[in-house]
Structure 1
Amino acid sequence: MMGIGWIIGILFVVGIFWLTKGNVIDSKSDSRKVPGALDILNERFARGEISLEEYQEKRKMIA
């Protein structure tokens, strides 16, 4: 009977640890990095939405 008490206790501690660790990971994923102007510009250029000349001009304005 004592063995079952130990198993339940260990499972309880592991469960609390798992729940706490899961919440920490989830809270970090909610705070996503907001893309900056240069990131957005790079994405637009990569998708072909803007030309090389327009990209270079806007990059000079940002930097």
Structure 2
Amino acid sequence: MYNFHEEIKNFIFFWSKILLNTEHTETTNFKLYFIHLKIAKRAILYKLILKQLIYMPVK
């Protein structure tokens, strides 16, 4: 069984490290905004998938 929680934790940890190490210029802020959008979309997707897995009957 694929561990979604672990994947999300690693994903957030990975990006938070990058975000903390970048200088905040206009361009990086712009890039970070899009990165955050991607993370948000991905997190929502995982939530939906997790809900599906939870409500699916176990075979």
TM-score (norm 1): 0.48
User: Which structure is larger by alpha-carbon Rg, 1 or 2?
Assistant: 1
Q: Distance in 2 between matches of 1:13 and 1:32?
A: 29
Q: How many residues align structurally?
A: 35
Structure 1 unaligned spans of 5+: 36-63
Deviation of 1:34 (Å): 6.6
Q: How does 1:21-40 map to 2 (within 5 A)?
A: 21-33=45-57
- The runs of at least 4 aligned residues of structure 1 exceeding 2 Å deviation read none
Higher relative contact order (CA 8 A, sep 6+): 2
Cα deviation 1:15-63 (Å, max 9, x = unaligned)? 111111000000001112377xxxxxxxxxxxxxxxxxxxxxxxxxxxx
Q: Distance in 2 between matches of 1:19 and 1:25?
A: 10
